[in-house]
């Protein structure tokens, strides 16, 4: 019996895609003059099965968790920052909360696994699986059960949304660019030196240390990285797994997804390797300055 994450995504309407293209072609403007906006409008018509796309009802969820690999000194900031940023989100002081207000979007933070327990906070859902992942230089980042739980957290968040026309996932977790890069290297068979970036702003020595840490982890777990789920279990983070689960469930429910940033793109890569049918539902917002992002896209 297949797991929920293997169930196919909702079908995309080619009929509505063709009608949207025909509509674009008869408008009194130079063809393609609106660039990506035209392409996105066509894609949304196909996804939403309509002639006039709409993304007025937006839901944003930021998944937060800590990473054991932070002990290897791969981040410019201490691990305590993850929990402090969750508090900042709750207080409305982060950029994403300002953007959410501007969009009149539903907004919540989902604590999937901060190191320390957090007090009850507004707009923060406590779904903490453990006190962060294990240092993947020493052991798998999480157990198979924990990985499945994190995927389920993401799906549950989507199942609780009402009248959502576009989902935007976010993440917070000190050292999560290290986990995301390790995952990407495993899934794409690319050497760390090709993908490792500065993340939160590590210096040259930190960049070399980060590359060496990922190299060591890939070598240690090489026999377990051939399947996407086990790669996620051995190298990922709770928030990355939750994002992957959210992306899969969105596609199954017919909700378009805006994928924003390097870590979210790594989660999208994992999600599409777990379930290839979801790919049409993922819309990528930009290519960031983080080295390797374009490769992931």
User: What is the per-residue pLDDT across 94-149, written as a single tens digit (0 to 9) for each?
Assistant: 999 999 999 999 999 999 999 999 999 999 999 999 999 999 999 999 999 999 99
Greater pLDDT, 32 or 15: 15
- Element of type H or E holding 152: helix 144-159
Q: Mean pLDDT across the stretch 12-28?
A: 94
The whole-angstrom separation of Cα 256 and Cα 44 is: 8
What are 202's two structure tokens? Answer: 């590590």
The whole-angstrom separation of Cα 147 and Cα 228 is: 12
Q: Mean pLDDT across the stretch 11-25?
A: 95
Q: Mean pLDDT across the stretch 157-180?
A: 96
Binned at pLDDT 50, 70 and 90, residue 40 comes out as: very high
What are 23's two structure tokens? Answer: 């509509």
Ranges 112-116, 248-252, 263-267, 287-291: which has the least confidence: 287-291
Residue 7 has pLDDT above 70, yes or no: yes
The whole-angstrom separation of Cα 265 and Cα 247 is: 11
Q: Mean pLDDT across the stretch 18-46?
A: 92
pLDDT, position 204: 86
Binned at pLDDT 50, 70 and 90, residue 288 comes out as: confident
pLDDT, position 147: 98
Over its C-alpha atoms, the chain yields an Rg (Å, rounded) of: 19
pLDDT, tens only, 169-226:
999 999 999 999 999 999 999 999 999 988 777 888 878 999 999 999 999 999 999 9
pLDDT, position 91: 96
Q: What's the predicted TM-score (pTM) here?
A: 0.96
List Cβ neighbours of 276 (8 Å cut-off, separation of 6 or more). Answer: none
The whole-angstrom separation of Cα 235 and Cα 176 is: 10
pLDDT, position 202: 82
Q: Which is nearest to 75 in space by CA: 147, 4, 176?
A: 176
The answer to whether the CB of 65 falls within 8 A of the CB of 239 is yes
The whole-angstrom separation of Cα 291 and Cα 171 is: 18
The whole-angstrom separation of Cα 18 and Cα 13 is: 9
End-to-end CA distance of the chain: 32
Greater pLDDT, 142 or 291: 142
Residue 241 has pLDDT above 60, yes or no: yes
| Angle made by CA atoms 14, 28, 31, in degrees to the nearest 5 | 55
């Amino acid at each position: 019996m297949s797991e929920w994450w293997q169930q196919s995504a909702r079908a995309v309407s080619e009929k509505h895609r063709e009608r949207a293209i025909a509509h674009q072609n008869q408008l009194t403007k130079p063809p393609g003059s609106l660039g990506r906006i035209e392409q996105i409008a066509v894609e949304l018509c196909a996804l939403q099965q309509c002639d006039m796309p709409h993304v007025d009802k937006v839901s944003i969820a930021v998944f937060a968790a800590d990473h054991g690999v932070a002990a290897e000194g791969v981040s410019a900031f201490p691990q305590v920052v993850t929990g402090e940023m969750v508090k900042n989100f709750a207080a409305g002081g982060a950029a994403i909360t300002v953007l959410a207000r501007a969009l009149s979007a539903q907004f919540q933070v989902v604590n999937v696994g901060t190191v320390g327990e957090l007090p009850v906070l507004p707009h923060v859902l406590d779904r903490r699986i453990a006190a962060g992942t294990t240092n993947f230089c020493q052991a798998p980042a999480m157990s198979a059960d924990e990985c499945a739980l994190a995927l389920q957290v993401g799906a549950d968040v989507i199942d609780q949304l009402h009248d959502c026309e576009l989902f935007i996932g976010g993440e917070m977790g000190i050292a999560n660019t290290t986990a995301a890069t390790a995952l990407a290297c495993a899934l794409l068979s690319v050497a760390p030196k090709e993908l490792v970036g500065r993340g939160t702003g590590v210096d040259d020595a930190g960049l070399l240390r980060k590359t060496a840490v990922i190299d060591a982890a890939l070598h240690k777990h090489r026999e377990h990285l051939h399947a996407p789920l086990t790669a996620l279990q051995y190298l990922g983070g709770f928030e990355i797994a939750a994002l992957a689960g959210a992306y899969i469930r969105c596609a199954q429910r017919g909700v378009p997804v805006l994928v924003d940033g390097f870590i979210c793109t790594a989660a999208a890569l994992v999600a599409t390797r777990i379930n290839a049918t979801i790919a049409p539902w993922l819309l990528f917002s930009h290519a960031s300055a983080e080295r390797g992002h374009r490769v992931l896209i």
